[in-house]
Structure 1
Amino acid sequence: MEQQDKAIRVVVAEDEPYLRRDIANAIRARQGMRLVGEASTEAESVQAALEGQADVVLMDVEMDRCDSGIRAAVRIARERPETIILFLTVHDEDEVIYEAFSAAPNVDYIVKSETAEAVLQKIEDAYMGRSSISPQILHKITGEFGRMRRRQSDVLYFYNILFTITASEKELIKMLLDGCSVSQIAARRVVQVSTVKAQINTLLKKFHVKRTKEIVSQIRELGLEKIF
């Protein structure tokens, strides 16, 4: 990365005043870094990053809202995509990590339990383009993207099946989603139980499964209940 000979412009966005002060003081004392702003809310974070033309924003995920940092990162990325967002948080849950890395094009992540020296090193590494994502974090991110690709594939596969489903079979699926038994379905439709079982067997073949519970599970996992 170019601009290696100038100070890295850093904004610290953290709602805990003592932690913000400690990190800010460490940045001020670090040769090659310049503190250009401090913030404790989403709005302040965006303003400080844009006005200070920040190279790196050390961003708390939770400030005035539980997702303040992520929302601020999205806004900063729209106006200044070259700014690196370094999320600082106590969280390492899969969902939080994925949301953080989806917020902006230049993102990294560090937990608050790290030392001040580790935070400063992370800022330098991020600015210099040296990836320092931990294997655990990387595994979670790649796992989430893999899950999304599988889900997309499953949805497309499901819709291909849907084109082969009749109106009567769609009604049957709706009753299965409602938790109806075979006998209850037969009573509602005023048909023989054997007729319902025959129709269920046809559905099982179309979905390539052995039980109706698997059909119901697939539909719910994909969030497609509303189409029935």
Structure 2
Amino acid sequence: MTISVLLVDDEELVRTGMSAILGNSPGITVVGEASDGSEVVAKVLELRPDVVLMDVRMPRVDGITATRELMAAVSDPPRVLVITTFERDDYVYEALREGASGFLLKRSRPAEIVQAVRTVATGDSVLFPAAIRGLVSGRLNKSAGGRLSHVQFTEREEEVLRLMGQGMSNAEIADELCLGVQTVKTHVSSTLAKLGARDRTQAVVIAYESGFIEVR
């Protein structure tokens, strides 16, 4: 299966570099580019990419707004991977809340960029646990924590959620817990349903914000 990617960045040099990196990677094709978030919905409806690699900071319509509009306008939206210059970027945090599946630093090596695209395309998330902890620090919602304490997780689901919070993929969680990958996927799906989370990224944000996973 070929992964199709839409690049969204106001800097042509960044788009050119990302296009070269991804276009030369087996199984990945860049199907289009956009220079502003205002173009995203139309481009997605036209090109139907699997992944949108989106700059989080753009001068007209930023990545947060573009992600929000995309999630609202498209019934089966592509995975969104936001790119940023700084790890602790409040824009990234808001983009994750709006539905992005993870984030990538612009200084990432080519192999890391390719792997991140492949990861989100399969339904996993790309998170940096230390950065997530920094982003949610000071945003802890004690009332949310109270509500989350009433969610009836199984012991295994709690383990899976905490490992998700460490940025582990399904395969890594399976190795850690000595389970099959399909069993982990079942636990992840159940956990998301109980949290009312759209995807694993949102589940991790909820877990940190509520205090279920302690920010250290």
- Residue among 118, 123, 133 paired with 2:127: 133
Q: CA RMSD of the aligned region, Å?
A: 2.3
| In 2, Cα distance between equivalents of 1:45 and 1:82 | 11
Q: Deviations over 1:118-139 (max 9, x none)?
A: 1111000111123331121332
1:141 Cα deviation (Å)? 5.2
Counterpart amino acid of 2:95?
A: A
Per the alignment, residue 184 of structure 1 pairs with none
The separation in 2 between residues aligned to 1:126 and 1:24, in whole angstroms, is 17
The CA distance in 1 between the partners of 2:137 and 2:64, in whole Å, is 20
Structure 2 counterpart of 1:95? 90
Cα distance between partner residues in 2 of 1:99 and 1:9 = 25
**SS of 1:38's equivalent?**
strand
Q: What amino acid does structure 2 have at the position aligned with 1:68?
A: D
Q: Is the Cα contact below 8 Å between 1:84 and 1:127 reproduced in 2?
A: yes
Whole-angstrom CA distance in 1 between matches of 2:121 and 2:62: 23
* 1:56 equivalent in structure 2: 51
Equivalent pairs counted in the alignment come to 145
Q: Is contact 2:84-2:92 (8 Å) kept?
A: no
Q: Which has the larger radius of gyration?
A: 1
Match of 1:74 among 68, 72, 80: 68
3-state SS, counterpart of residue 109 of structure 1 = strand
Aligned equivalent of 2:33: 38
Q: Cα distance 1:69–1:94, how it changes in 2: closer, same or farther (>3 A)? A: closer
- Counterpart check, 1:109 vs 2:103: yes
Q: Distance in 2 between matches of 1:144 and 1:50?
A: 38
Q: Which secondary structure state, in structure 1, belongs to the residue aligned with residue 86 of structure 2?
A: coil
Identify if the C-alpha distance between structure 1 residues 135 and 152 changes in structure 2 by more than 3 Å, giving closer, same or farther. Answer: closer
Equivalent position to 1:119, from 113, 121, 135: 113
CA deviations 1:57-83 (Å, max 9, x no partner) are 000011233x61111111111123431
Cα contact 1:98–1:144 (8 A) shared by 2: no
Which residues of structure 2 form unaligned runs of 5+? 147-216
Q: How far did 1:86 drift?
A: 0.3
8 Å CA contact retained: 1:27, 1:34: yes
1:148 to 134, 141, 146: 141
SS in 2 for 1:110: strand
**Structure 1 residues 82 and 151: CA distance shift in structure 2, 3 A:** closer
Query: In the aligned structure 1, how far is the partner of 2:57 from the partner of 2:126?
Result: 23
